[in-house]
Structure 1
Amino acid sequence: MKNPVLVALFCLIHTLISAQNPVPSKPRILISTDIGGTDPDDNQSMAHLLMYSDLFQFEGLVSSPSYGEGIKEEIFRMIDLYEKDLPKLRKHNKNMASPDYLRSVTKQGRKGNAPFSGYTTATEGSEWIIKCAKKQSEQPLWILGWGGLEDIAQALHDAPEIQHKIRIYWIGGPNKKWSANSYAYIAKNFPNLFFIEVNSSYYGFFSNNTEPDTINSSNYYDRVIKGAGHLGMDFKKYYDGEIKMGDSPSLFYMMDGNPEIPSRESWGGSFEKISYSPRTIYNQTTTLQDTVAFCSIIELHLKGPETAIPSDSVCFWMEIPYGETVQKWPGYYLGNGDYTIRYIPKKAENLQYRITSEIAEINGLEGAIVVSNLWPGKTHPTDYPLGNNWYSDKADPDLYDGKIQGAKTVLKWREVLLDDWAKRWNWLK
């Protein structure tokens, strides 16, 4: 006969583990995406989301392109493809989301990044975020950010009371670079948000540091997706079928365990608290003697003439060589001769830049800065202090994948995730 003491102890341990890491039951999610813009990985992630629609309670699909030409019609197009494949999907799972319902919660957010203030005027998307956040529910609203923060910042500005009703998992990195002003507004004014800021860990999902005989991001299309329905045919359009899906770790995170515990092992990464968001202010152009951490805020203030230019107006550009192209970033006049720009570098590098403007006193200024490979890096008096629920990529050197901080916390689960997705692709064959 079993020892009743051991049985009771086992049950107690199991209960405690379950309480700490329960599988969420259809979490309420709202996706903010720049789909249709310059980075097609959002289309890949949208295909994944739709094929797993039975796992989520959808509150919204918001087009939020801080950069590029993303529009909600691209979300509609993906839903149309899903609808064509739905009869096959429902043969295996009757709980897949209704296409008409998904269309009803698809909204257009801001097109383009916010000015220096970090917000402007309400959009259909920002108003929908507020409406969803204010719904009566025992569950919080999880906002999964695949693009810019403009609509989230606008919603918080217009209805600051929602900050206690939402949770945010945001794919930062390049999105943070394009959305610097809205990010700074949120970090400064809402430090107590529950915010998972993922600047690098997500890269682990499309790293190719795997053995040749395993499923990886380069061979998955030919091995698994090819010939699988309308979504499968469409998938080939993006990176020639090679998997990137840099936004999908936000979904993986919601599919695996208790999302209220970011430090746990999770398909979508494992994160640690950060107590500050690094921000360095310079009152002149920088040199290679200056160093900042990647994904930290560089705030450059240049002295020029006092003019009648309206405050928070674009009046100069920071030009940065990027391969064979030049990226241009807007700078703003804040009044009293203060010409200001925020820039957030997405990776470690030696950065060169040039200022162009019709304002003669600042036109032609040049600078450089060293960007280091450890986030959040050393502290500065001008950092934004954060509360107890702001998390980001783990800094443990053993969790780097090459030069990518925290990437192994996602990479370790990739084969499990791709194997599971392969079963659903097979439903479409």
Structure 2
Amino acid sequence: MTGSARDVLAQKGFRLFLTARLLSSLAQQIATVAVGWLVYDVSGDPLQLGLVGLAQFVPALLLTLPGGHLADRADRRLILLCATLLTMLAMGGLLLLSLEGKPSLPAIFAVMAVLGAVRAFWAPAGQSMTAMLVERHLLSRAVALNSTIWQVTVIAGPAMGGLLYAFGPAVVFGSATLLLGSAAIAVFLLAPMPPHGLGERPHILDGIRFVRSRPEILGSISLDLFAVLLGGATALLPIYARDILMTGPLGLGLLRSAPAMGAALSAALLAHRPPERHAGHKLFIAVAVFGLGTIVFGLSTSFPLSMAALAILGAADMVSVVLRQTLVQINTPDDMRGRVSAVNLVFITASNELGEFESGVAAALLGTVPAVVVGGVGCLLVAGVWAWRFPALRNFELPRSHP
């Protein structure tokens, strides 16, 4: 581990925050598997699985801007603590429901809606805290470490959830509740983070106005929106696994894990060696690699090649994530970070959800392979247009790790 990476982890506040992030993310990942199995086991209806996601998406989308506004007006540590405790209570609710012989689906959806609403307050406060816990020149490494934790939970959480489900859904939700309780303790041990420097009349839309006034931030957020909207092929992986690569359910699981594995390796590398020089150029190269990886995956009929393409595009996407999040945090004053993070989260949420919808529509109209290839080409075009349209984004630099 390099000296700078040790410097990041040596800071107690960030270490506690990272611990809370690990425990809470792991809890939610293992619970997601159990919720899906439980809902399908009770209903036998695939549509109900879609409603699980919708129940979380709607309140999260509606409340993210208010959540960012609150993050700039209240103690962010207190917001994070309350959100973690509420998530723990919701998980306890799922535990009680799972103990019933045939749990009520509306009750499960109601709990998932609560989780979506709580996430709208957890995420802006959590994102805006990173810059308060580390020194400016270590921020890109801190963002990379944070992203590494997330990717590890994405890889390990579903597998753990599946193993625990063998002992019953109550075991999964009980374990998740305990993990969240431990996360709440880690957050409680953080120092208070009251707002400072807040204007006299802050407005909930100030984040949108600020983003519009900063071309490099607007460019980075919108670049992610359109690149993921066009280039995402995740929703079509079941078709590739069954009809094109002929790998079955096991192959589908491996295909789904490949981008996360590539992203985790990339994030770990970036935590040690952040791309400080010519960061803007490297951002656009990463987006272009993401598009090329999408095209290769779309055309591939070889399972190993498809796995490699997905891992590479996942790694490239992580480079883009780290660079964009660092740029946003560095160029946003502390009293605006909550609201700007909320705007960023709205764009991310929209790109992920709408991207899956776009992939499905394009596949229905063009066919699966043409839809993925056209999406990859579209991603390349977006990278080129944004590089021309946002020169401030193209030329931005990260602060050096050694001041």
Whether these two folds match at TM > 0.5 is no
User: TM class by shorter-chain length?
Assistant: under 0.3
Higher percent of residues as helix: 2
Question: What's the TM-score, normalizing by structure 1?
Answer: 0.25
Question: What's the TM-score, normalizing by structure 2?
Answer: 0.27
In terms of Rg, which structure is larger?
1
Higher RCO, 1 or 2 (CA under 8 Å, sep at least 6)? 2
Higher percent of residues as strand: 1
